[in-house]
């Protein structure tokens, strides 16, 4: 496995391959990331994982400075998962000057849910992802594939739409969320939880499961369902941002015809102590 820190070296190295498969990450990797790498592996002739903590997608009060940088451990895990190339640029390498050209995704996709609570988040994500695509795929001559996790449900949707609207010759695939035995979705931010918080953390996925079960039983009063779920977590000491039922294809509130046909997802984000967790389930 080759570890590359600069764009020229990456381009030179990738020139010998035709079909790169990319898994973009911010490092601090867990089994969920490695599952994406294993999914990507048979889809290209070289599997590239990028590790870059992208300042552009963090608000000033968020955890950019404290986000764990664990390159050595990450590389060991990636090697065992069959990754061929790790692209881990420094900030100076990837943003040699302030990144003032940016991708602004449409508000109806990017200013709701995560984008509402993290203004500018999807501009930061789309900008870095487009730049990573340029870095990894510019020399490719055949199929180009990038794999994103479904835990970041809105993120994978926004990226799908970006690729579609810019007509980028890249196939976007998604990988299922991996969960701990108690049901907690694997996330780099789970490492921030204290032992007590870790025990409590499963309640987010339990709340989403309860919402999904109500929908499957025919519940149509979405406002009441959402309010109940928010209250359940608030009563346990969480600060929920949203627990909501949305249409899978555009993440808008469901209309009458959307019920009962596998068209919905329940999505949640809530803070437990200082840690903000997100999760979702397709219904
Ligand atoms: O999901 C992530 O880890 C990041 O948002 C991504 C896609 C690597 C962009 O920085």
Task: Please report, for the chain, the start and end positions of each structural domain, with discontinuous segments joined by +.
Answer: 2-175, 188-282
Collapsed DSSP state (helix, strand, coil) of residue 281: strand
Ligand 1, pocket residues at CB < 6 Å: 24-26, 54, 57, 125, 128-129, 152, 155
pLDDT band at 262 (very low <50, low <70, confident <90, very high): confident
Q: What is the pLDDT of residue 260?
A: 82
Which ligand 1 atom is nearest residue 188's CA?
Answer: 3
List the residue whose alpha carbon is closest to atom 6 of ligand 1: 25
Name the CATH architecture for the domain at 2-175.
3-Layer(aba) Sandwich (3.40)
Instruction: Give the model confidence (pLDDT) of 57-82 as tens digits.
Output: 999 999 999 999 999 999 999 999 99
Instruction: Enter the tokens of residue 88.
Output: 């881990």
| Contact between 1 and 12 (Cβ < 8 Å) | no
Using the predicted structure, report yes or no on whether residue 224 has a pLDDT greater than 90. yes
Same fold, 2-175 and 188-282: no
pLDDT band at 257 (very low <50, low <70, confident <90, very high): confident
pLDDT band at 18 (very low <50, low <70, confident <90, very high): very high
Name the E strands within 19-102.
20-25, 46-51, 85-87
- CA-CA distance, 203 to 201, in Å (whole number)? 5
Q: What is the pLDDT of residue 35?
A: 98
Instruction: Give the model confidence (pLDDT) of 145-187 as tens digits.
Output: 999 999 999 999 999 999 999 999 999 999 999 999 999 999 9
Average confidence score pLDDT of the chain: 97
Among the listed residues 5, 30, 33, 249, the single catalytic one is: 33
Mean pLDDT of 137-146: 93
Strands 85-87 and 239-247: unpaired
The CATH number corresponding to 188-282 among 3.40.50.150, 3.50.50.60, 3.30.1300.10, 3.90.1720.10 equals: 3.30.1300.10
């Amino acid at each position: 496995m080759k570890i590359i820190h600069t764009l020229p070296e990456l381009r030179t190295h990738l020139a010998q391959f035709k079909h790169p498969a990319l898994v973009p990450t911010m490092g601090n990797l867990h089994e969920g990331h490695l599952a994406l790498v294993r999914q990507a592996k048979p889809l290209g002739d070289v599997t590239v994982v990028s590790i870059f903590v992208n300042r552009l997608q963090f608000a000033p009060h968020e955890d950019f400075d404290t986000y764990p940088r664990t390159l050595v451990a990450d590389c060991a895990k990636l090697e065992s998962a069959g990754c061929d190339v790790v692209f881990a640029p420094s900030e100076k390498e990837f943003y040699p000057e302030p990144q003032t050209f940016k991708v602004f995704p449409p508000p109806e996709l990017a200013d709701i849910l995560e984008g509402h609570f993290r203004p500018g988040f999807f501009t930061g994500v789309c900008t870095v992802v487009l730049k990573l695509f340029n870095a990894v795929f510019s020399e490719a001559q055949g199929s180009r594939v990038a794999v994103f996790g479904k835990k970041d449900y809105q993120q994978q949707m926004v990226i799908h739409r970006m690729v579609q609207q810019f007509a980028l010759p890249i196939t976007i695939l998604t990988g299922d969320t991996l969960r701990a035995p108690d049901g907690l979705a694997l996330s780099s931010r789970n490492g921030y939880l204290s032992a007590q918080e870790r025990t409590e953390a499963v309640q987010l996925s339990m709340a989403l499961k309860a919402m999904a079960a109500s929908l499957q039983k025919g519940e149509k009063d979405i406002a009441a369902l959402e309010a109940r779920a928010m209250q359940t977590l608030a009563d346990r000491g969480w600060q929920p941002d949203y627990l909501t039922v949305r249409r899978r294809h555009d993440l808008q509130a469901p209309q009458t015809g959307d019920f009962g046909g596998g068209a919905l997802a329940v999505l949640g984000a809530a803070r437990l102590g200082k840690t903000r967790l997100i999760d979702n389930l397709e219904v």
